[in-house]
Amino acid sequence: MGIDQGNRGARMRSILHIDMNAFFASVEQRSDPSLRGKPVAVAGSERRGVILSPSYEARAFGVKTGMQYHEAKRLCPEITFVPASPGKYSHACRQLITIWERFTPLVELFSIDEAFLDVTGCEPLMGDPVQVAVRLKNEIWEIMGLTCSVGIAQNKLLAKLGSDMLKPDGIVLISPDDEREVLEDLPVKEICGIGPSMTRQLAAMGIHTCGELGRAPLTKLSERFGILGERLRDMGKGIDDDPVISRDVQDEEDSKSVGHSMTLEQDCDDSTIIQRHLLQLCEKVGRRMRRGGYTGRTVSLTIRYADFHTFSRQQRLPRSVDHGLDIYAVASSILTKISLDQAIRLVGVSVSSLEKQMSQVPLFMEERKRKFTTEAMDDINDRYGDFTVTWGTLAERYRHERVISPAWRPGGDREY
C-alpha cells in the first residue's frame, strides 16, 4: 500500500535522478592517468580556496566539499590538489546531456553534475526504469569512464533522495510500496529543500523525521511557515507533483539576476586593487546582461572578509542599466561607504530587478556614441574573446577563473 497521494499525481510516473560521483575530481582523474586511484581534490586554485570536489579516495580520509586546504592536507597528507578547469567540466556535462537525451527528451538539468530524467512510458522500448538506469550507467561508463548514482521513484523528491542513499555507483529504487517505510524514520534534513535553518525550526516544533512531518497538523505548519506549510507536509509524505522540465523550456525561463564573484589570490585591503577587481566584475556582468538582452535596476555588492564573514549591500536605481561602467559607478559608491574592518577575500557584484529587452533608444549624441562604442567593443570581444578590448585599468586584470557557477547551463549566456 503506497502513501496517500490524494487525487494528485493520478498517473504513475517513472523519474530518475542521476548524480555524477565526485564529478570534477573524476573528470580530473580521467584527464590525468597518474591521479587515478589516488586521493585528489579539485580546488579553486593550487594555492588557495576551498575544496570543490574531493575524489572518493580522498573522502575515505574525511575530506569534504567546502573544506579548506590545510584541513584537507591534515586529514590526508598525500592528497593532490588540482586547480579546477571549468571548460573541462562544462564539456563533460554536454557529453552527459547527449547521452541522457538518447533515453528521453525530458531531461532537467539540476546542476552541472545532476539531472532528472522522466522515463515514463519508455518501458516498451527500453525496459523497466531499473533496466533503463543500468543501461544509462553502462553508457556513461563506456563513453566517459565516469560513474554515477541513480535514484528511481515516482517523483523528483524521492528520486533525489534515492540517489543519495547509495554512493558511489549505486542504483536505488523507491517503489510506492516502500515510500512509507523509507520516510518514517528519515531525518527531515535528508530531504532536498529542507536546509539547516528549516531543520532547526522543525526540531523546535518537535518534528525530527519525515514521518512526523507528514503527520503534523497543517494548521500548525502553516502558522509557522505560511504557504510553505502545505508543501512541507507533502514533502514529509513523499508527495511531489513537480514535473521534469525539459532543457528547452528551462532555457526560455528568464533569469532573476546576473552576477559574478571572485576569490582573490590573496586577502587584499588595497582599495585601488579592490576597485580594479570590481570594475572587471562589473564589465563581465554588463557583458552577460547585454548578451541576454537584460537591463536591471538593483545593484548588489558582496564582500567576504578574510575570516569568512560575508555581507551584501544593495542600491536600487531610478533607471535600468546594462553597461559595465554604470554598474561599476553604483558598486563602487556602495564600497566607498563601507568601512572595511579586515582584508577582503572575495568580492562579488550582481544586478537584479531585471527587465528583458527594455533598454531605451538613446536620444542624445553622447549617449548614442557610448552605445555604439559599447556595441563595437562587444562585437570585437565576441569575435576574439572577452577583454580583448577593454579599459586600460584592466590591463592588469585578474586572470584566474577557476570557479564554475551553479548557474551554468549549456547554451546559456555564461561561457567556459
Q: Are 44 and 261 in contact (CB under 8 A)?
A: no
Phi-psi label, residue 256: left if phi above 0, alpha if psi -120 to 50, beta otherwise: alpha
Query: Whole-number minimum distance, CB 280 to another protein, in Å?
Result: 18
Cβ proximity to another protein: between 224 and 409 the closer is: 409
- Residue closer to another protein, measured from CB, 5 or 55: 55
* CB nearer another protein, residue 123 or residue 415: 415
Q: Output the smallest distance, CB 77 to another protein, in A.
A: 12
Contact set for another protein, span 46-105 (CB under 8 A): 46, 80, 83, 87-88, 90-92
- Any alpha helices (H) in 293-362, and if so which ranges? 324-337
| Torsion angles phi and psi, residue 220, rounded to 5 | -65, -45
Per DSSP, the three-state class of 116 is strand
Least Cβ distance, residue 52 to another protein (angstroms) = 16
- Site map for another protein, 372-391, x if CB under 8 A? ---------xxxxxx-x---
Q: How far is the CB of 137 from another protein (least distance, A)?
A: 20
Q: Where are the alpha helices (H) located in 22-128, listed in sequence order?
A: 23-31, 56-59, 69-75, 86-100, 123-126
Q: By CB under 8 A, name the one of 34, 219, 266, 339 that touches another protein.
A: 34
What minimum distance in Å lies between the beta carbon of 386 and another protein? 8
Binding residues with another protein: total (CB under 8 A): 24
Backbone angles phi, psi at 265, to 5 degrees: -60, -40
Name the minimum Å distance from CB 387 to another protein: 11
Handedness of CA 347, 353, 359, 362 (dihedral sign): negative
Q: Of the two residues 32 and 375, which places its CB atom closer to another protein in the complex?
A: 32
Cell of 191: 530531504
Q: Could you give the residue numbers annotated as active site?
A: 114
- Between 39 and 348, name the residue whose CB sits nearer to another protein: 39
C-alpha to C-alpha distance for 271 and 198, rounded to whole angstroms: 39
* Residue whose C-alpha cell is 588540482: 82
Q: Which is nearer to another protein, 31 or 373 (CB)?
A: 31
Using alpha carbons, select from 318, 384, 314, 391 the residue that is nearest to residue 349.
314
- Is residue 244 within 8 Å of 107, Cβ to Cβ? yes
Q: Which CB sits closer to another protein, 87 or 121?
A: 87
Are 404 and 89 contacting, i.e. CB atoms less than 8 angstroms apart? yes
Euclidean distance between CA atoms 14 and 118, whole angstroms: 6
**Which of the residues 4 through 33 are near another protein (CB under 8 A)?**
27, 30-33
Burial 176-185 (b: 16+ CB within 10 A, else e): eebbbebbee
**Residue 175: alpha-carbon gap to chain centroid:** 29
Nearest-approach distance from CB 82 to another protein, in angstroms: 8
Of residues 279-338, those binding another protein (CB under 8 A): none
Which residues of this protein are in contact with another protein, per CB under 8 A?
Answer: 27, 30-35, 46, 80, 83, 87-88, 90-92, 381-386, 388, 415-416
